[in-house]
Amino acid sequence: MSLPVSDVNKQPDYRTTMELGAVLPKTAEVKDDHLYIGGVDMVELAKQEGTALYVFDEADLTDRMEQYVSNFHAMYPNSDVAYASKAFINKEIYRIAKAQGMYLDVSGGGELAYAQAVDFPMEHIVVHGNNKTPRELEEAISAGVGHIIVDSRIELGRISEIAGRLGKTQDILMRITPGVEADTHEFIRTGCEDSKFGFTVKDDFAFKCVKDVMAAPNVNLVGFHCHIGSQIFALHSFREAVKVMIEFVARVQKEYGLTVSQLDLGGGLGIAYTAEDEPSTIAEFAEMTTSAVKDFCAEYGIELPHLMVEPGRSIVANAGVTLYTVGILKTLPGIRNIVAIDGGMSDNIRTALYHADYEPVVANKAGQKRDRIVTLVGKHCESGDAVACDRPIQTPEIGDIVCVFCTGAYCYTMASTYNGQPRPAIVFVKDGVARTVTRRETYADLMVRDI
């Protein structure tokens, strides 16, 4: 693992923080050269709480949840929105999702345990995973979850056996791999034929498996699920997936006589990670998916199903930022300018995994123009440990507070304790008040399970 080849000809963009547009959290503003989010000074917050530090704009979070729920209900009343826990999880966001009337998409026993800890309605839980263990399945069925997304015939047998032993009939959806090549990074493309997820439509495999599911005892096939990938800008990919799914539903109804009541289209709406990105809005995503369902149901002559979507990244990514303190400055002549911060791949693995791009600013120089090109590297023993490669930023100095935008999704949930680095605290900010919702790990926490 190493840093990508530096673009030595790249020029600064000379933007100020507030010129970064869609990457900014809803309440971001600059006062006296300092970045404020939720009415809280990020520079002072970093000094009080320490860095690295995850910060979430609570108003941004709730606004995006409200947009999802209201748009889908307005355009397709028989619909629900499930928050995809894998993007970001702690008790507080589950409480907020519950208050907004959302469902939850959980993968694994740990995410279900979080839901139980905040008394989330179990009937509003959708359980995912391509290899749910027998223990996780038993926990889910015992808890009374609303739906389990079945990913294979082997899993079908396990659910059937466990539900029968517990004296229950479990509602399930089959995950179908529709063969749609979503326009996104190959690592987060999940709906193509070469995927570990679901029942492929290739060679009619998924259709033939429906018969097995219908015949299995102690389960009730209520619908179908698909998810074509993440960070998708091209909305036509969703329409293509809807066509495949509705055609599949119609064929099942015609040839097997089974009328299913549920269609879950997963998530995947992209967000702006850079100032140049132009993702679709939540309203545009809702219009595209709901109109596609209506159009193709009419074309194939089937009743409109209960519709569900499972957004994660497009709810939490832009609401979250990460604060760091600059510790070391290095210049590699003719190669790159290195700015070392007190975090890195332990709190944001995405850049190391697939060279994700982010917009950084110096929070205590937020009103100034970004006049340098730098690579923000972490503090870990890996050459590829970086958070932002060859990105514009205000001229940094040792002790400056750096803010990296759009880190609300897949940073905390994929964080590690590599090199014995305690994971950062999580602070929610709103109306000038900062509240810690997940405390910073301590050295004692790192060793608490050791014997």
What is the amino acid identity at position 21?
G
For residue 179, what pLDDT is reported?
81
User: How many CA atoms lie less than 13 Å away from 131 in the CB half-sphere?
Assistant: 1
- Write down the pLDDT at residue 195: 73
Which among 236, 338, 346 has a CA at the least distance from the CA of 280? 236
CA distances from 33 to 154, 172, 400, 424, 437 (A): 58, 54, 13, 25, 27
Instruction: Say what the pLDDT of residue 374 is.
Output: 97
pLDDT score at 314: 97
pLDDT band for position 6 (cuts 50, 70, 90): confident
Give catalytic residue positions. 381
Confidence tier at 110 by pLDDT (50, 70, 90)? very high
pLDDT tops 80 at residue 190: no
Mean pLDDT of 56-84: 98
pLDDT class for 181, splitting at 50, 70, 90?
A: low
Mean pLDDT of 212-230: 95
- The pLDDT of residue 191 is 42
pLDDT category of residue 8 using cuts at 50, 70 and 90: confident
Q: Is the pLDDT of residue 186 over 80?
A: no
Question: Does pLDDT of 183 surpass 70?
Answer: no
The yes-or-no verdict on residue 182 having pLDDT over 90 is: no
Q: H-helix or E-strand containing 292?
A: helix 282-300
- Condensed to tens digits (0 to 9), the pLDDT of residues 150-179 reads 999 999 999 999 999 999 999 999 999 988
* Rg of the Cα atoms in the chain: 23
Q: According to the model, what pLDDT value does residue 3 have? A: 83
- pLDDT score recorded for residue 5: 79
DSSP 106-167: EESHHHHHHHHHTT--GGGEEEE-SS--HHHHHHHHHHT-SEEEE-SHHHHHHHHHHHHHTT
**Residue 344 pLDDT > 50:** yes
pTM confidence score: 0.94
> pLDDT for 226-260, tens place per residue?
999 888 988 998 999 999 999 999 999 999 999 99
Q: Are 35 and 363 in contact (CB under 8 A)?
A: yes
Mark out the alpha helices in 6-107 (DSSP H runs).
42-49, 58-75, 91-99
Pick the closest to residue 400 from 358, 360, 359, 365 (CA basis).
365
Which pLDDT score is estimated for 42? 98
What is the model's pLDDT at position 194? 64
Number of alpha carbons in the 13 Å side-chain half-sphere of residue 313: 21
**Backbone angle region of 101, left / alpha / beta, with phi > 0 → left and psi within -120 to 50 → alpha:** left
Is pLDDT of 295 > 80?
yes
